[in-house]
Amino acid sequence: MNKIKPISLAFICSLFSLFSFAQQFGTIKGKISTSNGKPAAFISIGLKGKGQGTTSDDNGLYTINRVKAGTYIIKASAVGIDASEKSITIVAGETKIIDFVLKENDQALEEITIAGINQKYKVSLPSATLRLNEPLLEAPQNIQIVSNGILKDQQIISMSDGLIRNVSGAVRLEHWGDMYTNILMRGSQIQAMRNGFNVVSSYWGPLTEDMSFVDHIEFVKGPAGFMLGNGDPSGMYNVVTKKPTGLNQGEVSFTAGSFDLYRTTIDLDHKLTADGKFLFRLNAAAQNKGSFRPFEQNDRYSFAPVLSYQITPGTKLTAEYTLQNAKMTEVGSYYIFNTAGYASLPREFTLTQPGVQPTRINDHSLTLNLTQQLGQNWKLTAQAAYYKYLQNGTSSWPSAVYPNGTIIRNVGIWDAESSMKLAQLFVNGTVKTGGIVHRILAGFDGGKKNYMADWGQSHDLDLASSPFNLYNPNYGFPSNGYPNFDRITPLEQRAIAAGGLMDQKYLSGYVQDELGFFDNIVRLTLAGRYTYVSQSAWGGSPDKAKHVTPRVGLSVSVDKNTSVYAVYDEAFTPQTGFFRDGGTAKPITGNNKEFGIKKDWFDGRWNTTLSVYRITKQNEITGDPLNKARETFSIVIGEKRAQGMEFDIRGELAKGLNLIANYAYTDAKVTKVADGVEGVFVGQIVPGFSKHTTNAWLTYSLQNGLFKGAGISGGFTYLAGRAVGTYSGENANENLPDYFKLDGGLFWSHKKIKITANVFNILDKYLYSGAYYTNYWNAPNYDLPVYSWQAEAPRNYRVSVAYKF
């Protein structure tokens, strides 16, 4: 008892000191609008010479906390906007309301600055679709944003094109090529979102987005169910599309590269009315793209118009349509199989048969978003979306792999159609009770998803008497001819016969209160979500489940540039599988415990995030390691545990010098095995992950002199301790070799023109990811090991020319 008193006294003194410290500060808040009354979003607002500032949100609102008592010059500015300054005096404990009305000028809009600092790589605010309504520095979660500037500098043209190098611990299995992205992080595949909607309609995910209509991508680590519906405890990524800005501008770009890459994009951003209430933006792209492997193609075009209308000063309606059309080689063309080991064939080797029908995809989406400002501190958001996906194509997978270097290639039909009807309604607001500030988030999500596919027809290209020879390939007319699939029968009937029906209905409600103490220095988050889901797969009966997932977070601002956080949250993910014993799958449940430190450096020019976490998941299913060819049985693993450390740094280190770098240590293993499960054991490494993942990307541009605007860039990816891509018994713990890829390039910009050139895989290494199979194919010996791998491109280049108008 005597020991408790001094501790309690110290605690009380500490709280008193903290409270006294908080009383030395005031708060500045207000609204920024343009001369036509339109809210001005993402405008820099800061105290001159103090390095303290923020940005306005979508409604032009801003708040600067913890401002010391005194007299300042506050400045609002952005490129393309006439800056405005005001002299203010702050009294301790006061909340000062300062509004700005800004005028647009004729200067060419290049890059928005935040707090007077170039935000090419560092973004300080999440999008409104994440619903957080607070700076990233204050959020009790690790969130990393890949900005539009990064996408352009690295010449990323789709979600599956080198994007993940910019986020710690993110890896990707190239299983689906450029058709589906399928990003893995913290021991599992993470959920795919677009503008706040979960857009996964089947196990394989949405068609990978073309970057022409993407503004930036937000990676949320750990469970995000309280924000965006039921999801995996490892996290999710949210693709944020481009919206009208109200500033008349445009850009057209041309890209050419190795393997017959030719690509054109256009971005038109204009006012339709002089008062700026009716806005329009159009992004479109067209590309032809070959491969270092023969007979492969990936031709696409996209079309994404957006209209927004400011109905009243506080009411805004946005309508967005996106079309993506793809014509690509059959799914699975990236695979190589052999019994002789990984990389035992040339990296340009292919099993694809010329003349096989390509896969054609039309992906449509329509989104309506309505925002209503409810006074100064509250906003209501309602949005609905309709997605329609149509696919007509094939996939390839061998029927047999023999130890003498021969194989029977097989092509299966894959016609599919999916539809999703999604809706959300949520409110953000701020209230104050005594000395406590409450940031409130509450809302509802609902959706209905249907997916049907015919994968019940297949055809061997090669005869058993005349198999395909891996060491002496013949790409002439296949010995067993080409397939002639039935496409006259309606798809729904074929899908029923093939067991290719999936559906999901869900409804959830959530509420979150972030309580800010001591002038918002200490922030306590309390949240919970109720979810009801009914879903089925493979034509089986619906599985129904309901669950409440809580969330508790704590974030403390050590100073205006540093915060520490701790969070505990849970996840709930319904799943459906087809089991040998006819059983049904229980929902995935899991929890995440995490601690982190965030810091802005040198007046917010760059920032760092360090986090440590531990995630456990129960009931997750995976493909049965004992499956033979064409079998789709699942098994329940039991329990997985992922733990590790992640570090990210991004921003402008010095004038003209920008850096993105990250490191992740990932320890993901099976900790429990369900009764009766074979091929998986306690301690087995989770497939597809690297124990050590390191990335960096550095750019430097000359700021003065004859070559002003010219620069150099370079980056690398290093993976060590790589696990194979399958659960396949004890041999699955055999690591793949370490991976090192070096990229770099040059760029030059002057006024409205920018030229970018990059070389990828400069060292021309044979890079690949792989998987190990046993007891799978209809070979003479079912225990025969088969190695599968997908090679990456050799040294290659891209050159882009962009013109702004």
Task: Find the range with the poorest average confidence among 82-86, 130-134, 623-627.
Answer: 623-627
pLDDT of residue 53: 75
pLDDT of residue 777: 61
Sign of CA pseudo-dihedral 184, 190, 191, 194? negative
> How far is Cα 125 from Cα 107, in angstroms, rounded to an integer?
25
Please provide the size of the chain in residues.
805
CA distances (Å), 478 to each of 356, 418, 461, 462, 613, in order? 10, 33, 6, 6, 52
Q: At residue 455, does pLDDT exceed 70?
A: yes
Q: Which of 591, 636, 585 is nearest to 616 (CA)?
A: 591
pLDDT of residue 554: 96
- The mean pLDDT value for 244-248 works out to 85
Q: How far is CA 97 from the centre of its chain?
A: 37
User: 313 falls in which pLDDT band (50, 70, 90)?
Assistant: confident
Judge contact between 188 and 622, C-beta under 8 A.
no
Q: At residue 676, does pLDDT exceed 90?
A: no
User: 775 falls in which pLDDT band (50, 70, 90)?
Assistant: low
Judge contact between 686 and 640, C-beta under 8 A.
yes
pLDDT of residue 227: 58
Q: How far is CA 343 from the centre of its chain?
A: 30
User: Is residue 102 helix, strand or coil?
Assistant: strand
Per the model's pLDDT, the better-predicted residue between 7 and 412 turns out to be: 412
Task: Find the range with the poorest average confidence among 288-292, 423-427, 548-552, 717-721.
Answer: 548-552
Q: Tell me the per-residue pLDDT of 350-379, one tens digit each, with 9 for 90 and over.
A: 999 999 999 999 999 999 999 999 988 899
> How far is Cα 121 from Cα 653, in angstroms, rounded to an integer?
11
Q: At residue 229, does pLDDT exceed 70?
A: no
> How far is Cα 314 from Cα 312, in angstroms, rounded to an integer?
5
> How far is Cα 205 from Cα 187, in angstroms, rounded to an integer?
18
Task: Find the range with the poorest average confidence among 265-279, 562-576, 620-634, 712-726.
Answer: 620-634
Q: Tell me the per-residue pLDDT of 695-739, one tens digit each, with 9 for 90 and over.
A: 999 999 998 888 889 999 999 999 999 988 777 655 544 678 999
Domain 23-116: top CATH class: mainly beta
User: 261 falls in which pLDDT band (50, 70, 90)?
Assistant: very high
Q: At residue 21, does pLDDT exceed 60?
A: no
Mean pLDDT of the chain: 86
Residue 10 carries which DSSP code?
H
pLDDT of residue 181: 86
Q: At residue 77, does pLDDT exceed 90?
A: no
Half-sphere exposure of 521 (CA within 13 A, CB side): 19
Per the model's pLDDT, the better-predicted residue between 60 and 455 turns out to be: 455
CA distances (Å), 104 to each of 84, 109, 274, 412, 738, in order? 11, 10, 13, 57, 52
Task: List CB contacts of 550: < 8 A, sequence separation 6 or more.
Answer: 527, 528, 569, 570
Task: Tell me how far apart the 2 most distant CA atoms of the chain are, in Å.
Answer: 90
> How far is Cα 467 from Cα 607, in angstroms, rounded to an integer?
57
pLDDT of residue 81: 62
> How far is Cα 50 from Cα 25, in angstroms, rounded to an integer?
15
At 460, which amino acid appears? D
pLDDT of residue 228: 55
- The mean pLDDT value for 243-247 works out to 87
- The mean pLDDT value for 554-572 works out to 91
Helix spans in 188-269 (H):
225-228
At 618, which amino acid appears? Q
Q: Tell me the per-residue pLDDT of 166-223, one tens digit each, with 9 for 90 and over.
A: 999 998 876 677 888 888 899 888 889 999 999 988 767 788 999 999 999 999 998 7
Task: List CB contacts of 6: < 8 A, sequence separation 6 or more.
Answer: none
Q: How far is CA 249 from the centre of its chain?
A: 27
Highest mean pLDDT among 7-21, 45-59, 592-606: 592-606
Task: List CB contacts of 409: < 8 A, sequence separation 6 or more.
Answer: 351, 353, 396, 398, 399, 460, 461, 462, 468, 478
Any idea of the CA torsion for 672, 678, 680, 682, to the nearest 10 degrees? 40
Per the model's pLDDT, the better-predicted residue between 405 and 229 turns out to be: 405
Per the model's pLDDT, the better-predicted residue between 603 and 379 turns out to be: 379
What is the CATH number that goes with domain 128-241?
A: 2.170.130.10
pLDDT of residue 174: 66
| Residues of the chain above pLDDT 90, percent | 53
Task: Find the range with the poorest average confidence among 269-278, 298-307, 316-325, 769-778.
Answer: 769-778
- The mean pLDDT value for 71-92 works out to 79
Task: Parse the chain into domains and list their residue ranges.
Answer: 23-116, 128-241, 249-804
| Residues of the chain above pLDDT 70, percent | 87
Task: List CB contacts of 489: < 8 A, sequence separation 6 or more.
Answer: none
Highest mean pLDDT among 257-266, 491-500, 539-548, 723-732: 257-266
- The mean pLDDT value for 643-649 works out to 97
Fold of the domain built from segment(s) 249-804: Maltoporin; Chain A (2.40.170)
User: 62 falls in which pLDDT band (50, 70, 90)?
Assistant: confident
User: 406 falls in which pLDDT band (50, 70, 90)?
Assistant: very high
